[in-house]
Amino acid sequence: MNCQYILQYLHKHRIHISTPMAKQIKIKDIARMAGVSAGTVDRILHNRGNVSASSRAAVEKVLAEVDYKYNIHASAISLRKEYKIDIVIPTALGGEYWGAVQNGFEHALHEYRDISIDCRFHYYNQFDVYSCRSAYSELKGSEPDAVIIGPTFVEETIVLCRGLEEKNIPYIFVDSRIEGTSPLTTYTTDQYACGCILGRLLGSLTPKESGIAIFGAKRIGNRKANNSLERKKGFLDYFSSSGDKRSVKEASYSVLNPDDNEEEVMTFLKENPDIKGIAVLNSRGYIIADLLKAKGIRNIIVVSFDLTGNNRRCLEDGSISALLCQRPELQGFNAIKSTINHLLYKQDEPQVNHLMPIDILMKENLPFYRELFEI
């Protein structure tokens, strides 16, 4: 009769046992058991060399038997090293997508405030590839212990990562994953799947046979963002593989110069009068929704990404019908957390690519998603 059966039996018969925490074993205990000093145990635990084969064998024998977990608090106070982290992400004002990621960073830095971390932020304009290049080049001289990157442009990021790899500096991605790099971990959502789900939502919200459009943002330097590319692929594949055959048109709009949009978008809609649904492939759905409202157009369904302040407003007033959200605060929080675990405790998550849940927000469940961090 093994443990599992016992547990099942206890559960079935509603029997419960109180489980007093096992007394934590300490370095001194191990030293005593192995017949060496605490210093030697510490050297072995941290792979700092200068240990004889016999001592190592004795200690490792003990380690194999007992379940030693060092005390994080004791470790943290005696470990006084200051760590340097560089963070490169797009600029954001409060309430925008990257502002939420930034909140997550700050939340984590606060939670780990008793660990000395010198965190330097470098911002770039996500709609301008040149701005990204210049932010990346700021990292050249820096010798941080780790780098957290919120990437937008593929080639530039690959170059940056090559450089970091040469210098043996670990890096972590948030929001998007770039193929052909080797990050320590990644926090993102499956952007291809996001595209599929968006297709599914828009398909079910609009009448069959109606036309559909996808809108992407114009970027200076005429380069596509990694996420948008993936999402578009998923979106198109959904419609080509499902029974739901639609005409899907593509258009673009400007975030930096919103005044230009009116004419361009209206012309596009006039040329494609069958369009009843628009998918905005980034977090700026409100720009299109506001434009449609201003023009008195009420019969076009808009879906988009991320719970920004403006998107929240549009979801409330019905001009956006659904949003897909990807827990940006949690991504930021976890990026810092796993960086710390890596640097201080050499603990790496087994799972390299952490896929966040894709939350579907509609008017009804919106009130319960606060911008505030849910932890």
Partner DNA sequence: CTGTTAGCGCATTCAC
Partner DNA sequence: GTGAATGCGCTAACAG
Query: Residues interacting with DNA, by CB under 7 A?
Result: 26-28, 36-40, 42-43, 45-46, 48, 50-52, 54-55, 70-71, 74-75, 77-81
Angle at the Cα of 202 from the Cα atoms of 199 and 206, rounded to 5 degrees:
140
List the single partner that 200 binds among a copy of itself, DNA, none, CB under 5 to 8 Å by kind.
Answer: a copy of itself
Q: How far is the CB of 115 from DNA (least distance, A)?
A: 11
Judged by CB under 8 A, the chain residues 319 through 348 that form the site for a copy of itself are 327, 330, 334
Nearer to DNA, 74 or 375 (CB): 74
The stretch among 57-65, 85-93, 242-250, 264-272 that binds a copy of itself (CB under 8 A) is 85-93
Q: How far is the CB of 174 from DNA (least distance, A)?
A: 28
Distance CA 352, CA 9 (A): 37
What one-character-per-residue DSSP string does 204-238 give?
Answer: HHS-TT-EEEEEEE--BTS---HHHHHHHHHHHHH
Q: Determine if residue 80 is left, alpha or beta; phi over 0 gives left, psi from -120 to 50 gives alpha, anything else beta.
A: alpha
Return the structure tokens found at 90.
């797009």
Helix (H, G, I), strand (E, B) or coil at 263: helix
Q: How far is the CB of 212 from a copy of itself (least distance, A)?
A: 17
Q: How far is the CB of 120 from DNA (least distance, A)?
A: 22
Distance CA 218, CA 129 (A): 11
Q: How far is the CB of 200 from a copy of itself (least distance, A)?
A: 5
Buried b (16+ CB within 10 A) or exposed e, 278-302: bbbbbbbbbbbbbbbbeeeeeebbb
Residue type, 7: L
List the single partner that 39 binds among DNA, a copy of itself, none, CB under 5 to 8 Å by kind.
Answer: DNA
List the single partner that 362 binds among DNA, a copy of itself, none, CB under 5 to 8 Å by kind.
Answer: a copy of itself
Is 96 within 8 Å of 306 (Cβ atoms)?
no
Nearer to a copy of itself, 236 or 266 (CB): 236
Nearer to DNA, 46 or 208 (CB): 46
Return the structure tokens found at 297.
């157009």
Binding mask 27-66 for a copy of itself (x = CB under 8 A): ----------------------------------------
The stretch among 54-62, 119-127, 215-223, 277-285 that binds a copy of itself (CB under 8 A) is 119-127
First to last CA, the chain: 40
Distance CA 291, CA 254 (A): 12
Distance CA 62, CA 33 (A): 7
Q: How far is the CB of 40 from DNA (least distance, A)?
A: 4
- Report the relative pairing of strands 275-280 and 322-325 from DSSP bridges: unpaired
For residue 58, count other CB atoms closer than 10 A to its CB.
19
Q: How far is the CB of 373 from DNA (least distance, A)?
A: 25
Binding mask 173-192 for a copy of itself (x = CB under 8 A): ----------------xx--
Helix (H, G, I), strand (E, B) or coil at 248: strand
Distance CA 144, CA 117 (A): 11
Interacting residue ranges for a copy of itself, rule: CB under 8 A: 8, 11, 14, 16, 18-21, 24, 69, 71-74, 76-77, 91-93, 109, 113-114, 116-125, 131, 189-190, 193, 196-197, 200, 327, 330, 334, 355-360, 362, 364-365, 367-370, 374-375
